[in-house]
Structure 1
Amino acid sequence: MSQNQTENTTQPESLVQIRGLYKKFNISGDFLDQLKFKGGKIVREQEHVHAINGVSLDVHKGEALCVVGESGCGKSTVARTVMGLLTPSGGTISYRGERIDHLDDKALLPYRKKMQMIFQNPYASLNPRMTIGQTLEEPVRLHNPDWNAQQVRDKVHEVMFSVGIDPSWADRFAHEFSGGQRQRISIARALAVDPEFIVADEPISALDVSIQAQVLNLLMDAQEKRNLTYLFITHDLAVVEHFGTRVAVMYLGSLCELAPTKTLFATPRHPYTKALLSAIPRLQDDRPEPIKLTGEVPTPVNLPSGCVFHGRCPYVTDRCKQEIPKLITTSEGGQVACHAVEEGRI
């Protein structure tokens, strides 16, 4: 334990702090839709999708923290809530120790320059009515109102060149580019204001496999040259192994496991993480059989009691069904939320 504590003291500073984050979406419809007739009385019933349930994370300066999990586990909701595109239902989000989740648009403006986002779909995230030059100039002008036109153009040309896009293409529209080129333009837009923190929400999942490696390498080069910090959302574990500094595993809106990348892939502790990693295709004759989980993923509308994974876990006990597990530090230096690990059963 003392070794882990020593390692923690030498870690980079915490850039983004997420504490007890909750997000739920009301799916009850309007007021009249919520009224039901039960037991001779009119009652109002509301239903919510519980997308994030008490997630706490620190993003360290200079790292690439990857958030993984299957579709619907809340990865993208975490990304959008951190960026202020969604308002949290509970918990706090802080940047360099300053709370930002409750700020209005004007108060958030200085943080917008430091925090940028790359979206999943480059076909939808670029304005089809604006040229690439206009798309890239807009954030530069917004965040640098004292710059003249030549300074703005020089910045746009510099950032286009840095992502492998010819500056002479600035007068073209988004539809004239391929998917990979559009994503490069999206990355250029994020880099144009010289941020220090970037949220990348599955930035390569909409691209051809042959282009994915190029875009990943571009992100890694930008991180090295610009000292960027990434919160990287993905479901591709091969990308995580290549790109991530640490990995956070989510299931049904809850954080299951958090560990350095090498530690997680070498010694996964949570039963869900083990099943997830066992599904990675490997070209090995002696590789173990993939772990087959039984049961269905519960609905986020009616969350199960206790551990959200207990319905599919082979190590489930009565405690798992009743008590929500808390993150505990493991001997390998990671954190895991599992009663079976805490009790030494696995």
Structure 2
Amino acid sequence: MTAAVSQHDPKASAATADSREQDNAAPLMEIRNLYKRFSLSGDFLEQLKFKGGKLVREQEHVHAINGIDIDIRRGEALCVVGESGCGKSTVARTVMGLLSPSKGEIHYDGQRIDHLSAKELLPFRRRMQMIFQNPYASLNPRMTIQQTLEEPIRLHHPDWSKERVRDQVRDVMDSVGIDPDWGSRFGHEFSGGQRQRIAIARALAVDPEFIVADEPISALDVSIQAQVLNLMMEAQQQRNLTYLFITHDLAVVEHFGTRVAVMYLGMVCEIAPTGTLFAKPRHPYTQALLSAIPRLEDDRPQHIRLQGEVPTPVNLPPGCVFHGRCPHANERCRQEVPALIDVEGGARVACHGVEEGRL
């Protein structure tokens, strides 16, 4: 079956071969049965209500992440895609420890980190850095660029001399194409693309090995997006970085990603090498998602129009979260939550139809 994929796209065959080679290596990041929910009910007193003459406690939650399992391999760029509100950014922030998981475990380089205190997590902070979505909000307006880049270095290397810190800042500025003369200026003096270069430099300043990028180019002009993407790819090659790249732009995924995880309503419905996913998507939602990409080819498949509305994450539907919009759903889909299963091409799919051979 893998050979059939390679006939469609040689890149898919190469990606599949790479995935087989990496399967034997221990992943850098392991996410296991991860859940994150946010309360909508306020404090304890606000949750108390009278119903039928009785005092009852009612709680409502937004179920942002609903039991995802993902391995991130060393040196790869794992892209997480999905429509707005599917939980992509929540995954990024939970992995980085900015949010605490409601349930599940996160392991980094073989060690569990989701339950560590801020002090215990500090050594991992240097190895794990984040690039935020909005370059206009992620830089402190009261700090010069020099101060912004020096701050993480001084935090993680308090024993370094001033000269060594300045040398490190100069080196990282050169590596991302920033003029060292910018150091005395403030963030508001730069364009969006320049600010995002500064944000990337800040992430690279402490020589991390793992970077979470939460839609780092979505706030930029299209003409600047390619420059920032190429900069991140060059940094990956030069520094052997591992990326968790959050995006909704499938064209970026095809260009940048090693593997792709497709999310829908807080769950991973398919994860596969990039070439395999674009050549032969298996999950009905992935097929609909990829059919929406504008193409110039005459023989491209017809656009798949999904019926119905996206369910609310406050009241999740039973069974498969996609069954209300899936044209292939049956009674099992409405009752039983599908698990990720291995299919050809190094992919994993959470779909009863694929498991039963109906799709």
Same-fold call, TM cutoff 0.5: yes
Give the match for residue 306 of structure 1: 319
Retained in 1: the 8 A contact 2:20–2:346?
Answer: no
**8 Å contact 2:22–2:73 — kept in the other structure?**
no
The equivalent of 1:196 in structure 2 is 209
Q: What is the deviation of 1:224? A: 0.2
**2:302 matched to which residue of 1?**
289
Counterpart of 1:320, as a letter, is C
Q: Which residue of 2 aligns with 1:88?
A: 101
Instruction: Select between 159-168 and 181-190 the one with higher mean Cα deviation.
Output: 159-168
Runs of 4 or more above 6 Å deviation: 1-6
The range that moved more, 277-286 or 63-72, is 277-286
Partner of 1:185: helix, strand, or coil? helix
Q: Does residue 238 of structure 1 match 2:251?
A: yes
How far the C-alpha of 1:286 sits from its partner, in A, is 2.8
Instruction: Give the counterpart of 1:179 among 175, 182, 192.
Output: 192
2:342 equivalent in structure 1:
329
- 1:119-198 equivalence runs, <5 A: 119-198=132-211
Partner of residue 115 from structure 1, selected from 106, 110, 128: 128
C-alpha change, 1:322 and 1:106, in structure 2 (3 Å) is same
Deviations 1:35-80 (A, max 9, x none): 2221111211010000000000000000000000000000000000
User: How far off is 1:109 after superposition?
Assistant: 0.6
Partner of 2:229: 216
From the superposition, tell whether residues 80 and 6 of structure 1 become closer, same or farther in structure 2 (CA, over 3 Å).
closer
| Structure 2: distance between partners of 1:313 and 1:40 | 42
1:6 shift after superposition: 11
Query: Deviations 1:290-331 (Å, cap 9, x if unpaired)?
Result: 100000000000000000000000000000000000000002
State the distance in 1 between where 2:138 and 2:286 align.
Answer: 32
What's the TM-score once normalised by structure 1's chain length? 0.97
For residues 17 and 190 of structure 2, what CA distance do their matches in structure 1 show? Answer: 49
Q: Secondary structure of 2:181's match?
A: helix
Note the alpha carbon deviations across 1:122-142, whole angstroms, 9 max, x for none: 111100000000000000111
1:87 and 1:13 map into 2 onto residues whose CA distance is 24
Alignment partners' CA distance in 2, 1:292 and 1:25: 31
**For the structure 1 residues 6 and 185, does the alpha-carbon distance in structure 2 shift closer, same or farther, using more than 3 Å as the test?**
closer
Distance 1:345 1:10 in 2: 30
Partners of 1:166 and 1:301 in 2: CA distance:
48
Q: Greater relative contact order: 1 or 2 (C-alpha under 8 angstroms, separation 6 or more)?
A: 2
What SS does structure 2 have at the residue aligned with 1:14?
Answer: coil
CA distance in 1, matches of 2:301, 2:358: 21
Provide the C-alpha distance between the structure 2 equivalents of 1:10 and 1:291, rounded to a whole number of angstroms: 34
Q: Who is 1:42 aligned against? A: 55
Q: Letter of the aligned partner of 1:63 in structure 2?
A: E
1:273 to 261, 276, 286: 286
User: How far does the alpha carbon of each residue in 1:98-151 deviate from its partner, in whole angstroms, 9 at most, with x for none?
Assistant: 000000011001000000000000111100000000000000111111111011
Cα displacement (A) at 1:7: 5.8
d(CA) in 2 for partners of 1:10, 1:197: 17
**Partner SS, residue 333 of structure 2:** helix
Residue identity in the other structure for 1:51:
A
Change (3 A) 1:317 1:99: same
> CA 1:244 to 1:2, structure 2 compared with 1: closer, same or farther past 3 Å?
closer
SS at match of 1:194: coil
Tell me, in whole angstroms, the C-alpha distance in 1 between the residues paired with 2:173 and 2:40.
42
Matched, 1:258 2:258: no
SS in 2 for 1:332: helix
Contact 2:19 / 2:273 at 8 angstroms: preserved in 1? no
Partner Cα separation in structure 2 for residue 260 and residue 332 of structure 1: 8
Q: 1:2 to 1:71 in 2, by over 3 A?
A: closer
**Separation (CA, whole Å) in 2 of partners of 1:296 and 1:10:** 39
TM-score by length of 2: 0.94
Letter in 2 for 1:302: N
Partner residue, 1:344: 357
Identical residues among aligned pairs (%): 75
Name 2:39's counterpart in structure 1: 26
Q: 2: distance between equivalents of 1:6 and 1:154? A: 37
